[in-house]
């Protein structure tokens, strides 16, 4: 069985997302062709004074989440370090199959650790295959010293990111994507020569002088990766909202700064290109479509949650939770009540710590009661079991219905209201 992946790297240059950009980034797909995983790696995201950004979400993550929610996706995880943001979305139908989710980050900017440069990373397991997804913003500049800083940053990223208690390095995973504004330049060619080659449709002459292409052949870490053939023009630096390269007094030399590298067996890249209709930034977004072979057999469920009908005089929701023998139960696990169209596991309406161990289970089951008295606006809901071991929701109940009334809401199965 193949898992389809679309990944995008985009330096948004402190701009906010225009309303038509999320659709352009996802691309045109029939419902059957939609990728199973959608990855958005952004750099130079302006957090500003947005309320959501102060709490967690920036305007780009929020806009993509709202758009992808309508397409049947769930935000598995999102991590940011200053303006470097990585978000991973998965089809909601695959939600219980996403496991062992972890995040990590490393700053390599000013003073060697500041977070304006560096990398953020998310790892996960799907159908038993492990994925390490890296979004990096490396030091800019055309000088030799700045080139060496990029190399030092790569070494630090791959040596220091370990994904906490799993103690797995990036390169230990079955699939590794290393992408971002890697800031590698075209060396030993003048700006005028680059533009002349591009006008003459001689990109190959520029690619021969591309710094990253040389590293793909020689660097101890980068040489382990592959990159599909580049068929697009340099993605930096443009005048914003224009198709013209930098016309400022600095007149920066165009370069393929925005790249997507991959390392894996049973992994195929089908498309690798820029999205040239998105003009909001001085960079062009770059996307890649992949497929990876996984086991055709779904992994057994780690847990099930059944929401029971609740009499109107009782304000507590009764849940029957069944735990697989292979599931590691922790006191940090919790049950949440969500709207059916929730964005990610943080989007709960109400939650309660489970605070039970396997010794509390009878035949692998336990019954819990959750108060719904704090649900003011009625409607359809689901209950979900969050595993702190897997850092993901590993089970969802069927929908149930809460009806607002005085003195409090009542609960019923959603089906009985239809």
Write down the pTM of the prediction.
0.92
Beta bridge partners of 369: 318
59-97 burial by CB neighbour count: b if 16+ within 10 A, else e?
bbbbbbbebbbebebbbbbbbbbbbbbbbbbbbbebbbb
pLDDT of residue 406: 53
One-character DSSP codes across 213-232: HHHHHH-TTGGG-B-PPP-S
* Rounded CA separation 38/70 (Å): 14
pLDDT of residue 362: 73
Contact (Cβ atoms closer than 8 angstroms) between residue 106 and residue 160: yes
Mean pLDDT in residue range 124-137:
96
Q: How far from chain centre, in Å, is Cα 196?
A: 38
pLDDT of residue 112: 63
Tokens 């193949």 locate to 2
Residue 218 and residue 97 share a domain:
yes
Residue 116 and residue 36 share a domain:
yes
Domain assignment present for residue 258? The answer is: yes
Domain boundary among 269, 293, 317: 293
Residue 103 and residue 196 share a domain:
yes
Domain that holds residue 339: 303-417
Which position has the higher pLDDT, 114 or 146? Answer: 146
Residue 318 and residue 270 share a domain:
no
pLDDT at 415 over 90: no
Domain boundary among 293, 317, 336: 293
Which position has the higher pLDDT, 371 or 137? Answer: 137
pLDDT at 114 over 80: no
pLDDT band at 28 (very low <50, low <70, confident <90, very high): confident
What percent helix, strand, coil does the chain show, rounded to 5? 20, 35, 45
Instruction: Give the ranges where 333-418 is alpha helix by DSSP (H).
Output: none
Tell me: the pLDDT tens digits for 253-296? 999 999 999 999 889 999 999 999 999 999 999 999 999 999 87
Phi first, then psi: give them for residue 267, nearest 5 degrees. Answer: -130, 130
Burial bucket for residue 376 (CB in 10 Å: 0-12, 13-18, 19+)? exposed
Q: Percent of the chain scored above 90 by pLDDT?
A: 70
- Both tokens assigned to 115: 């977070």
pLDDT of residue 198: 96
Tell me: the pLDDT tens digits for 353-408? 887 665 667 777 888 888 777 776 778 999 999 999 999 999 999 998 887 655 54
pLDDT at 52 over 60: no
Tell me: the pLDDT tens digits for 175-206? 999 999 999 999 999 999 999 999 999 999 99
* Rounded CA separation 265/176 (Å): 10
- Both tokens assigned to 383: 């209950």
Number of domains in the chain: 2
Contact (Cβ atoms closer than 8 angstroms) between residue 336 and residue 347: no
Residue 141 and residue 253 share a domain:
yes
- What CATH number should be reported for the domain holding residue 323? 2.60.40.2840
- What CATH number should be reported for the domain holding residue 57? 3.60.10.10
Domain boundary among 258, 293, 328: 293
What is the radius of gyration, based on Cα positions, of the chain?
Answer: 24
- Both tokens assigned to 194: 């680059």
Residue 336 and residue 269 share a domain:
no
Tell me: the pLDDT tens digits for 60-93? 999 999 999 999 999 999 999 999 999 999 999 9
Mean pLDDT of the chain: 89
């Amino acid at each position: 069985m193949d898992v389809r992946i679309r990944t995008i790297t985009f330096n948004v240059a402190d701009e906010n997302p225009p309303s038509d950009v999320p659709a352009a980034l996802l691309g045109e797909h029939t419902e059957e062709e939609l990728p199973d995983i959608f990855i958005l790696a952004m750099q130079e995201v302006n957090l500003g004074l947005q309320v959501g950004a102060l709490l967690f979400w920036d305007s780009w993550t929020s806009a993509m989440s709202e758009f992808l929610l309508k397409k049947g996706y769930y935000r598995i995880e999102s991590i940011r370090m200053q303006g470097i943001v990585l978000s991973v979305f998965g089809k909601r139908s695959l939600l219980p199959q996403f496991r062992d989710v972890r995040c990590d980050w490393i700053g390599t900017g000013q003073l060697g650790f500041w977070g304006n440069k560096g990398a953020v990373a998310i790892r996960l397991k799907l159908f038993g295959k492990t994925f390490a997804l890296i979004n990096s913003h490396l030091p800019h500049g055309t000088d030799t010293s700045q080139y060496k800083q990029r190399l030092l940053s790569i070494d630090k990223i791959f040596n220091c990111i370990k994904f906490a208690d799993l103690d797995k390095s990036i390169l230990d995973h079955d699939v590794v994507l290393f992408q971002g504004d890697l800031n590698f330049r075209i060396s030993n060619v003048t700006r005028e020569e680059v533009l002349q080659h591009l006008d003459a449709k001689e990109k190959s002459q520029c690619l021969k002088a591309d710094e990253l292409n040389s590293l793909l052949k020689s660097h101890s870490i980068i040489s382990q990766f592959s990159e599909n053939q580049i068929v697009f023009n340099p993605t930096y630096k443009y005048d914003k909202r224009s198709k013209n390269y930098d016309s400022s007094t600095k007149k920066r030399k165009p370069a393929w700064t925005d790249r997507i590298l991959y390392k894996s067996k049973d992994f195929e890249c089908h498309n690798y290109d820029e999205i040239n209709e998105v003009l909001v930034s001085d960079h062009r977004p770059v996307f890649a479509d992949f497929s990876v072979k996984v086991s055709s057999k779904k992994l057994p469920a780690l847990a099930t949650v059944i929401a029971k009908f609740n009499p109107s005089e009782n304000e507590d929701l009764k849940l029957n939770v069944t735990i697989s023998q292979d599931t590691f139960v922790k006191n940090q696990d919790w049950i949440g009540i969500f709207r059916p169209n929730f964005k990610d596991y943080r989007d709960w309406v109400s939650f309660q710590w489970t605070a039970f161990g396997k010794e509390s289970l009878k035949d692998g089951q336990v019954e819990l009661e959750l108060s719904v008295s704090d649900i003011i606006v009625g409607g359809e809901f689901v209950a979900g079991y969050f595993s702190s071991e897997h850092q993901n929701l590993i089970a969802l109940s069927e929908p149930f219905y809460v009806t607002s009334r005085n003195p409090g809401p009542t609960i019923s199965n959603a089906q009985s209201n239809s």
